[in-house]
Amino acid sequence: MAILDTETREIETDLLIIGGGAAGLWAAIRARDFCPRVLVVDKGKVARSGASVHTHCVLAPVTEDKIHEALEEIVVEGGYMANQRWAERTLREQADRIREMASWGAPFRKDASGALYTAKDRKQVVNNSVYLLGSDMMDTMKAHARSKGVDFMERVAVAELLTSDGQLPTRGSVVGAVGFHTRTGEFYVFKAKAVIVCTSLMSAELYNAAVNNLTGDGHAMAFRAGARLSGMEFGQIPNFPIVNRKVSTGHPAVFQLYGAKLVNNLGEEFVEKYYPGKTLQLLSRAEISYAVAKEALEGRGPIYFDMRHWSDELINEWRRVLPSMMKRMDEAGIDMRRDRLETMPRVGSWGGAAQSGIRIDENAESSIPGLFAAGVAAHVPVNIIDMTGVSQAVCYASGYRAGEVASQRAAGGSQVKPLADQVNRLRAKVFAPLRRESGIDFQQIYLSVGKVTVPAELSFFKHEKRIKGTLAELGRIQQEEVPRLKARDVHDLVNCLGSQNLPLLSEALYRCALARLESRFSHYREEFPYRDDINWLKWSIAENSGKGMKVSFESVPIETYPIKPAQRTRVPAPVQFTFKETVKAAV
């Protein structure tokens, strides 16, 4: 096949940024203040690929007098697991980030007086949100990055990191990366003095949130290189995007915020039963999903969102703000003024920045010298409570910081030449699915992994016995299916490479879930149905020892933070459930 004989292109830069979403662009823009050559490489089209283009809501600027209160809201609701230094930085810097973006022309929504329009969004009592369409935001930032001299290379998928000792895992540092052009198949070798991974989350089920090409590439390559991942057991993001078993909306938050009712088959509004005193607006998607799953599993499903009382005005507003969601409704023949919407809980995408990702320190550096991470690819434990808009804010803050530190490191550092032997080995590995005469399709990997990670008794409600079953199957998939992946052409090679990460990162997730003997956020263990702050104010660490995956824990340094719990206790999980085979059959 001609593609296998393509030339190798060598590219030299000071700072390599993998992924050009909001985090990658903030990193690039800031980095140009300190170093001359900044290159953003993206496997799609910057400003159209990834999650940032689909956002619509951003944390509002926080005034100095409100910082402590705003921080407290995030930390206390998040069960004291937040990294308070990152949280405080995010809150403090948000006003500057918004002001800068507005000065570059980002069209934030304004109120009648011409000021930023602000409102309370999901989970917000103290904090507020401002509104900006993701595509407008990304177009503005891309144009600004260009004007600052950032270089872009698009349609190049980065596949693996290069290391100073040529080893994965490495004992040295990261010195670049390899990848390939997704249309021509040209092989790329990037030499860089520092690398920032900004590749975002992982779509664990296809067609759920319009982010199919976010496939955990950064998590997986960092892991293979020996970087620590953390919080993986919280990586599954419970959500309820499937409507009427037909379409996925990707934006269930809107149902929460504008007074939709969530009812079971008996017509009962059941959420209050699990979360006394809390309206839908004040609950995370995980909290709602757990209640929905339990109701359905106990035979009170299907579960419906009911917004038949919504005004035409409100529905028209959603047509304007979220046209793709409304289009999905129309296509499925759903009229919100007439129909109730059946909803299904899912764990479709993994790894929001707050919950899990590449472990970074307060300079956004990973556990390997030369390797930084930012945005959703990094583990920046701030928005544990799933407050709308904070994910974006964390992308800005971590991108900005990563760009600042990595570029200064690059400006003062020297280029280390990648080892030819490692480059050749990786080239062979990357193109292997193209070489195979026959084999399995990438969608098979999603299905195989989905079968042992999506069902409620394996995702929402875990038990040691079932986790072990999932781990055994994930091992089999990695040994028997992944090595047989067959790419139809270069375009399909992108799919193949992405799908390989899913069983690997799922293994990290289930290994950490096995080790955490309590229940918290999106991690629930039937045997331990309580949040245990006495023993488990800790983050898990998963790393590649070279001989397999190693799991350990690191305590949250709560005594060094401004906000501390009055006392550490055990609190029962709000939704408790013990899975029985007979119940499942009734769903």
Which residues bind to ligand FAD, rule: CB under 6 A? 18-24, 41-44, 49-52, 54-58, 157-158, 198-200, 209-211, 213-214, 217, 250, 375-376, 388-389, 391-392, 395
Residue 385 CA to its chain's centroid (Å): 14
294 binds other proteins (CB under 8 A): no
331 binds other proteins (CB under 8 A): yes
Q: Are 354 and 373 a contacting pair, CB within 8 Å?
A: no
Q: Least distance to other proteins from the beta carbon of 351, Å? A: 18
- Residue among 181, 328, 486, 520 that touches other proteins (CB under 8 A): 328
Q: To which residue do tokens 């891309």 refer?
A: 142
53 binds other proteins (CB under 8 A): yes
Smaller CB distance to ligand FAD: residue 173 or 200? 200
Q: Is 580 exposed, middle or buried (0-12, 13-18, 19+ CB in 10 A)?
A: exposed
3-state secondary structure of 194: strand
Q: Are 22 and 395 a contacting pair, CB within 8 Å?
A: yes
- Residue among 60, 454, 485, 493 that touches other proteins (CB under 8 A): 454
Q: Least distance to other proteins from the beta carbon of 213, Å? A: 6
CA pair distance 176, 194, nearest whole angstrom:
7
Residue 93 CA to its chain's centroid (Å): 22
Q: Which does 455 bind (CB under 5 to 8 A by kind): ligand FAD, other proteins, none?
A: other proteins
Smaller CB distance to other proteins: residue 119 or 332? 332
- Residue among 118, 184, 212, 552 that touches other proteins (CB under 8 A): 212
Q: Are 214 and 33 a contacting pair, CB within 8 Å?
A: no
Number of residues that bind other proteins (CB under 8 A): 48
* Interacting span for other proteins (CB under 8 A) from 30-38, 75-83, 327-335, 573-581: 327-335
- Residue among 314, 332, 411, 514 that touches other proteins (CB under 8 A): 332
Token pair of 431, please?
Answer: 């193109």
**Radius of gyration for the chain, computed over Cα atoms and rounded to the nearest angstrom:** 23
Q: Are 166 and 419 a contacting pair, CB within 8 Å?
A: yes
Q: To which residue do tokens 């707050």 refer?
A: 354
Smaller CB distance to other proteins: residue 223 or 350? 350
| Footprint on residues 118-137 left by other proteins (CB under 8 A) | 135
- Residue among 95, 206, 257, 411 that touches other proteins (CB under 8 A): 206
Binding to other proteins by CB under 8 A, coded x per residue (else -) over 165-194, reads -----------------xx-----------
Q: Are 273 and 344 a contacting pair, CB within 8 Å?
A: no
Q: Residue 119: name the closest of 391, 396, 395, 388 by CA.
A: 388
Token pair of 97, please?
Answer: 């980030």
Residue 219 CA to its chain's centroid (Å): 10
Would you tell me the crossing angle of helices 490-515 and 217-225 to the nearest 10 degrees? 70
- For 393-434, the three-class secondary structure string (H helix, E strand, C coil) is HHHHHHHHHHHHHHHHHHHHCCCCCCCHHHHHHHHHHHHHHH
Smaller CB distance to other proteins: residue 124 or 289? 289
Q: Which does 200 bind (CB under 5 to 8 A by kind): ligand FAD, other proteins, none?
A: ligand FAD
3-state secondary structure of 3: helix
578 binds other proteins (CB under 8 A): no
Token pair of 247, please?
Answer: 């379409």
Q: What is the largest CA-CA distance in the chain?
A: 67
Q: Which does 57 bind (CB under 5 to 8 A by kind): ligand FAD, other proteins, none?
A: ligand FAD
54 binds other proteins (CB under 8 A): yes
Smaller CB distance to ligand FAD: residue 164 or 500? 500
List contacts with other proteins (CB under 8 A).
44-45, 48-50, 53-54, 135, 155, 182-183, 205-207, 210-213, 242, 245-248, 293, 296, 323-324, 327-328, 331-332, 344-346, 443, 447, 450-451, 454-456, 459-460, 491-492, 494-495, 587
